[in-house]
């Protein structure tokens, strides 16, 4: 099986990617990830080498697509992974993450699409978070983006939360493919603690966290202050930035109650 791991890295997210990639290799063998595709909107010299394959994207392709804020337009470009028909499996990961354990399970999925997330009272339709998903044929196909774009420009109301997550859900629905879910421990968003009905999930899964996701508009590598209680996670980021190997025990040690 030919596998690729896909990251979107703009210059502003380059520091985050370097931390995340190092943390992935602290817990996992390099060969697990197959070809590492780095999607960029401009060439990044630091990523030029044998380890990564840079793939450009054009942001103007997404002008006019539904978005709740401008930064979401970048996120739509991640869906271009769906057209990489040369691969049997693509694992798409955000870059504002830190790995805290083995992620081998992500690369042994057999369903056409696997996402990470939960349904909740606050978000009854959000079956998965766009920060991590795994696609295989027939989800991967050469006209995937053409199909998604047609919906985006003609029936944007179907993009219920105006971002790449709902675009993916619409695409799966149109192709009759069910979104299967894997444990939130592989994408444990600090935002989980924000909603009352997701707090219990965070508290349970943090004891076996494999990937910690620094969700939210303020990121620890650019902002001096992360909003509210999210600031409590900053020490974990700073440790990872220094090259320390974090584990689930470190995540469990962050008090949010």
CATH number at residue 28: 3.90.550.10
User: Is residue 32 in some structural domain?
Assistant: yes
Indicate the burial class of 204 (C-beta count within 10 angstroms; 0-12, 13-18, 19 or more). exposed
User: Is residue 25 in some structural domain?
Assistant: yes
Backbone angles phi, psi at 7, to 5 degrees: -125, 145
- Position 26 scores a pLDDT of 98
User: Is residue 55 in some structural domain?
Assistant: yes
- Position 194 scores a pLDDT of 62
- Position 246 scores a pLDDT of 98
- Position 58 scores a pLDDT of 87
Structural domain boundaries enclosing 143:
3-95+102-185
User: Is residue 67 in some structural domain?
Assistant: yes
Cα 112 from Cα 136, distance rounded (Å): 5
- Position 204 scores a pLDDT of 85
- Position 240 scores a pLDDT of 98
- Position 123 scores a pLDDT of 55
User: Is residue 157 in some structural domain?
Assistant: yes
- Position 224 scores a pLDDT of 81
Cα 139 from Cα 127, distance rounded (Å): 17
Q: Which two tokens stand for residue 51?
A: 């380890």
List, run by run, the mean pLDDT of 10-residue segments along the chain (257 residues).
95 94 98 97 88 91 83 89 97 97 96 78 62 95 93 80 84 88 88 67 89 89 81 93 98 86
Number of domains, the chain: 1
**Reported pTM:** 0.92
The DSSP bridge pattern shows strands 132-135 and 113-116 to be antiparallel
Q: How many helices (H) and strands (E) would you count in the chain?
A: 7, 10
User: Is residue 144 in some structural domain?
Assistant: yes
């Amino acid at each position: 099986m030919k596998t690729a791991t896909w990251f979107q890295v703009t210059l502003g997210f380059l520091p985050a990617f370097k931390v995340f990639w190092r943390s992935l290799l602290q817990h996992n063998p390099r060969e697990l990830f197959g070809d590492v595709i780095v999607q960029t909107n401009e060439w990044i010299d630091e990523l030029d080498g044998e380890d990564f394959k840079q793939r450009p994207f054009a942001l103007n392709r997404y002008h006019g697509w539904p978005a709740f804020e401008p930064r979401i337009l970048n996120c739509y470009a991640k869906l271009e992974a769906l057209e990489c028909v040369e691969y049997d499996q693509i694992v798409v990961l955000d870059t504002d993450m830190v790995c805290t354990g083995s992620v081998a399970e992500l690369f042994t999925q057999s369903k056409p699409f696997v996402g990470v997330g939960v349904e909740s009272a606050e978000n009854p339709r959000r079956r998965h978070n766009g920060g991590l998903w795994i696609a295989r044929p027939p989800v991967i196909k050469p006209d995937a983006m053409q199909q998604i774009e047609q919906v985006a420009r003609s029936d944007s109301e179907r993009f219920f939360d105006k971002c790449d997550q709902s675009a993916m859900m619409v695409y799966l629905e149109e192709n009759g493919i069910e979104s299967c879910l894997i444990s939130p421990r592989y994408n444990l968003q600090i935002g989980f603690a924000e909603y009352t009905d997701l707090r219990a999930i965070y508290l349970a899964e943090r004891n076996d966290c494999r990937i910690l996701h620094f969700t939210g508009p303020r990121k620890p590598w650019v902002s001096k202050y992360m909003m509210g209680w999210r600031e409590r996670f900053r020490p974990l980021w700073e440790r990872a930035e220094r090259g320390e190997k974090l584990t689930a025990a470190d995540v469990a040690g962050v008090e949010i109650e």
